[in-house]
Amino acid sequence: MEVPECPVCWDSFDRDTHMPRLLRCGHTVCQLCLKCLPTEMRLGQRCLRCPECRIPCVWRRVHELPKNYILLRVMDSSSNTDRSQSILRMALSFLSDVQFLCPIANFFVVDTIRSQRLLKRKLFDLATLTCISSLVLLFVPISLAYVFLAWLTAAIGFLILLCLALVGIGFCALLFFVWGSYHIVSIVYKSYKFLLKKGVVLYEYSLSLFGGFSYVTIKRK
């Protein structure tokens, strides 16, 4: 809602310098403009003409004129409305920011707490297993404990040897594949060279035979 303005200076009324004062004719002027308006004498009294309707009003002092309380009440209600609207706008902007920050908060709070719970659960399971193993080792005779540790060490060693054996078998298979490929290529290359040599010899032999046959034919003629 817009605040009413003074008809002289066109400034908005307030409760300080532009306090709305009510003239006898019913119009309202701010007290700052009332101090600046010209006065005149009528029938031995100092009068002030209203800037809107030009009706002369008795003038004594500014503070003797009544305030326009109705206008002040309207101004207060409008200021409260503006304040409530500004608060509402701030709340809406805050809610929009909160809606934007909700996924980030969910990631940094909920997921972090969930990860901490999972980690605590895993640590609890590990601690429980350690305690149970310690209790078993306490109540089991030392010889059986040594047997258990020996079997456990043997199982771990067997797994390590199995992994090494698998790695060694794979490496040996790779070497065998490379060796076989090399020999196959060399055999094919040697066979190709041998066949090429045989082909050259046969070609020369056929040429020699053809040449001898032609020489005998010419001699007979």
Which is it for strands 39-42 and 28-30: parallel, antiparallel or unpaired?
A: unpaired
State residue 217's pLDDT score.
47
150-169 pLDDT, tens digit per residue, is 677 777 877 887 777 777 77
What tens-digit pLDDT sequence spans the chain (221 residues)? 566 778 888 877 777 777 888 888 888 888 888 788 777 787 777 888 888 888 887 777 777 788 888 878 877 776 656 565 665 566 556 555 555 556 655 555 556 666 666 666 766 676 676 666 666 556 555 556 666 676 777 778 778 877 777 777 777 777 777 777 777 777 777 777 776 776 655 656 566 655 554 444 444 44
How deeply is 21 buried, as exposed, middle or buried, from its count of CB atoms within 10 A (0-12, 13-18, 19+)? buried
How many C-beta atoms lie closer than 10 Å to residue 218's C-beta?
Answer: 8
Q: Which domains does the chain have, with CATH numbers?
A: 1-67 (3.30.40.10)
Measure the CA–CA gap between 83 and 75, rounded to whole angstroms. Answer: 12
Give the pair of three-digit tokens for residue 86. Answer: 């500004």
Which among 34, 21, 25 has a CA at the least distance from the CA of 54? 25
Distance of CA 15 to the CA centre of its chain: 50
Q: Give the span between the Cα atoms of 185 and 163, in whole angstroms.
A: 33
